[in-house]
């Protein structure tokens, strides 16, 4: 597939303190949902792009993880800007990573990322950890920012599928029919050649245009 050969393209950004499990989540999702097309890793950004076929549509989905120790504000802002979804992640067994979540949310606030979720990861360590973050505390924080809350074990259990299904469905359901570039402003969703060049799409656009004649 060439760079533009898709119906829709969008990006997820994964944020949270060091060692909460962001890379593990990214690996888990990209291995299970789609085929890896591009990947690149540096001290400031870990990115993977997958091609994912859902029924008859080809999606190109980019996952950008900002490592927990990344502190360059310019880069941080640039990486978050234009994302369709933000995943804020903490480690339920380390309370300080939960306490820092509001800082991550506030630092990325001006990017106006339309879909945002909170993840409490490493729930497998929950039972053995004194002072672990309870589900009700985390749900309270998520509600404060209008987010859904998910508990995961990002080193591979089925909880990952709930996260993926929620994000994918929420974004895809927000795409109008037919999608025009104007109708997608602020959603971070791009239209690719597979859609733009299809005769069905061209016809749908003509139908809209005829409303204004």
Q: Which residue among 88, 121, 138, 164 contacts ligand GTP (CB under 6 A)?
A: 121
Radius of gyration of the chain (CA): 18
Residue 138's binding partner among ligand GTP, Mg ion, none (Cβ under 5 to 8 angstroms by kind) is none
* 183 near Mg ion (CB under 5 A): no
Interaction with ligand GTP in 4-23: which residues (CB under 6 A)?
Answer: 18-23
Q: What angle do CA 166, 168, 171 make, to 5 degrees?
A: 100
- Least distance between Mg ion and beta carbon 21 (Å): 8
What torsion do the CA atoms of 23, 58, 83, 91 make, to the nearest 10 degrees?
-30
The pair of three-digit structure tokens given for residue 88, joined into one six-digit string = 């804020």
Which of residues 62, 125, 172, 205 is near ligand GTP by CB under 6 A? 125
- Residue 173 CB partners (closer than 8 Å, separation 6+): none
Contact residue for ligand GTP among 45, 62, 139, 155 (CB under 6 A): 155
Question: Contacts with ligand GTP in 65-104 (CB under 6 A)?
Answer: 67-68
Looking at the Cβ atoms of 84 and 97, the one nearer to ligand GTP is: 97
Other beta carbons within 10 Å of 192: 19
- CB nearer to ligand GTP: give 85 or 184: 85
**Residues in 13-42 at the binding interface with Mg ion, rule: CB under 5 A:** 22-23
CA 212 to centroid of chain Cα atoms: 36
Among 154, 163, 168, 184, the residue binding ligand GTP under the rule CB under 6 A is 154
Q: What SS3 class is residue 102? A: helix
Please identify, using beta-carbon distances, which residue of 140 and 156 lies nearer to ligand GTP: 156
For 197, other C-beta atoms within 10 Å of its C-beta total 11
Tokens standing for 106? 């506030």
Backbone angles phi, psi at 13, to 5 degrees: -115, 135
Nearer to ligand GTP, 68 or 188 (CB): 68
Structural contact between residues 41 and 47, judged by C-beta atoms closer than 8 angstroms: yes
153 binds ligand GTP (CB under 6 A): yes
Minimum distance from CB of 47 to ligand GTP (Å)?
A: 12
Dihedral pair phi/psi, residue 127, rounded to 5°: -60, -30
24, 30, 49, 83: residue in contact with ligand GTP (rule CB under 6 A): 24
Q: Which residues bind ligand GTP (CB under 6 A)?
A: 18-24, 67-68, 121-122, 124-125, 153-155
Q: Which residues bind Mg ion (CB under 5 A)?
A: 22-23
């Amino acid at each position: 597939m060439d760079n533009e050969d898709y119906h829709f393209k969008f990006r997820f950004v994964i944020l949270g303190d060091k060692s909460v499990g962001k890379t593990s989540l990214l690996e888990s999702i990209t291995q299970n949902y789609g085929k890896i097309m591009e990947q690149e890793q540096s001290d400031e950004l870990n990115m993977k792009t997958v091609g994912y076929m859902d029924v008859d549509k080809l999606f190109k989905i980019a996952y950008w993880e900002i490592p927990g120790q990344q502190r360059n504000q310019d880069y941080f802002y640039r990486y978050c800007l234009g994302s369709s979804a933000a995943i804020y992640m903490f480690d339920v067994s380390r309370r300080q990573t939960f306490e820092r979540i509001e800082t991550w949310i506030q630092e990325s606030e001006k990017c106006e990322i339309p879909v945002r979720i909170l993840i409490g990861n490493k729930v497998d360590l929950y039972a053995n950890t004194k002072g672990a973050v309870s589900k009700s505390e985390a749900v309270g924080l998520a509600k404060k920012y209008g987010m859904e809350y998910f508990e995961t074990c990002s080193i591979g259990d089925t909880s990952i599928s709930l996260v993926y299904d929620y994000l994918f469905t929420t974004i895809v359901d927000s795409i109008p029919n037919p999608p025009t570039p104007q109708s997608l402003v602020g959603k971070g969703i791009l239209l690719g050649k597979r859609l733009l060049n299809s005769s069905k799409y061209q016809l749908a656009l003509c139908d809209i245009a005829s409303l204004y004649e």
